[in-house]
Amino acid sequence: MPPHETSDLAEPVAADAASGSPLAAYRERLAKGLIEPDPEQERVAARLDDLCEALRTRKPPLRPLQRRFGRLLGLASASAPPRGLYIVGQVGGGKSMLMDLFFERAPVARKRRIHFHRFMQDAHGRLHAMKRAHPEITDPIPPLARSIAGQACLLCFDEFQVGDIADAMILGRLFEALFAQGVVVVATSNTRPEDLFQNRPGRDAFKPFIAILRREMDTLLLDTGRDYRRGGLRGLVTWHTPIDGRADTRLDAAFLRLSAGATPTPVTLTVMGRRLLVEQAAGPVARFDFDALCGRPLGAGDYLALARRFEALVLDAIPRLGPENFDVARRFIVLVDALYEQKVKLIASAEDQPDRLYQRGEGADAFERTASRLEEMQGRRYLATPHLGPD
């Protein structure tokens, strides 16, 4: 099961957390050479600008307690919410980058960004807990929607996709209730709304949800015709030795390039009830110091969670290993296996070439396969292979 994910930005933040507008930020990245000019991306950035302005001038929805006493307290009622946006485009077209620009600058105090399937996992868990704690509640969806709306009046979903019948059964009523609470939704997806849950049993019962999306949100097609993620790896050196200032500079540049200049923020993955902090995450790429990943007791589940969530990993300062740190070498083997199986792109600095990193000690023979994989992961064919992502 994929991990649940939260971030500092998933909690209420100040409305002025980031200055400027999505379009201004997009053009700033263009001027710095971090991204290539693309009229389709600029068009979508302009629409996100319009939504930011609508959110800025909107009277936000009142929380339940405020609504109850709003007339006594003299609180103004909320204005009608602006229409949300459903952005459709192919993998690597820049949807996540544009969502980064929008979310950072959306002038909303209560906002949340999350991968859609993780949002639904959380929703199912909360519904189950609510039914168990309050068996007298015959319909837990309205209170769940009120709870979600109380935490965030702007919901931003990455990778909006519906493949689970359990999700399909509750989506229409949940989103109807969220929109009734004044929640604004922005989503990115590879699939048009009318094609969601296509050719699945129960599709007819799912159609009202599609109608709700089309009623409350505008569909924007991001048709760049290019995969910028693969292009970002073109000509990129992925293994840097020795560990020195030059290697650090090159890793800094790789992180900036792969994230398209997105601001790094902490992200927390929850793996089997445990919290795994990613201190530097920006769009599809994360960055770690080797000791932070392999010098502490992490396991296969942690590394798989990282590999599913991130398309690229920048790893600083891989040392030579020996018999005295077999546990570290073993964890590194497991990490590389997880990255390799999910086709994560690894950019690293190391004391030596892969086949000379662990030559003596328990499991050194097994490390030969790891060294071989590390060599393959630097090759053009591997770098051109799409990331497998969540199941």
All domains of the chain, ordered by start, with CATH? 4-222 (3.40.50.300), 229-383 (3.40.50)
Please determine, for residue 15, whether its predicted confidence score (pLDDT) is greater than 50: no
What is the reported pLDDT for 248?
94
In the chain, what are the helix, strand and coil shares in percent, each to the nearest 5? 50, 20, 35
Task: Give the per-residue pLDDT at 16.
Answer: 39
Q: What span, in angstroms and rounded, lies between the C-alpha atoms of 132 and 114?
A: 26
Asked if residue 59 has pLDDT above 60, the reply is yes
Whole-number pLDDT of residue 17: 42
Better-scored residue on pLDDT, 78 or 122: 122
Identify the burial level of 308 via C-beta atoms within 10 angstroms of its C-beta, where 0-12 means exposed, 13-18 middle and 19 or more buried. buried
CA angle 277, 350, 299 (to 5 degrees): 35
The pLDDT confidence band at residue 229, using thresholds 50, 70 and 90, is low
Looking at residue 82, its pLDDT comes to: 92
Q: Three-state DSSP class for 224?
A: coil
- Dihedral of CA 54/26/183/176: which sign? positive
- What span, in angstroms and rounded, lies between the C-alpha atoms of 235 and 232? 8
What's residue 235's pLDDT? 67
pLDDT at 389 over 60: yes
Whole-number average pLDDT of the chain:
85
Could you tell me which residue, 34 or 357, shows the higher pLDDT?
357
β-pair partners for 271: 274
Residue 375: which pLDDT band, with cuts at 50, 70 and 90?
A: very high
Q: Where is pLDDT greater, at 6 or 12?
A: 6
Given a cut of 50, whether residue 13 has pLDDT beyond it is no
Q: What is the pLDDT of residue 364?
A: 87
Confidence of residue 138 (pLDDT cuts 50, 70, 90): confident
d(CA 367, CA 320) in angstroms, rounded, equals 12
User: Which among 14, 15, 16, 25 is positioned nearest to 101, based on CA atoms?
Assistant: 25
To the nearest whole percent, how much of the chain has pLDDT over 90?
50
User: Mean pLDDT, to the nearest integer, of 283-294?
Assistant: 94
Scored b (16 or more CB within 10 A) or e, 50-84 reads: ebbeebeebebbbeeeeeeeeeeeeeeebeebbeb
Give the model confidence (pLDDT) of 325-365 as tens digits: 899 999 999 999 999 999 999 999 999 999 999 998 888 88
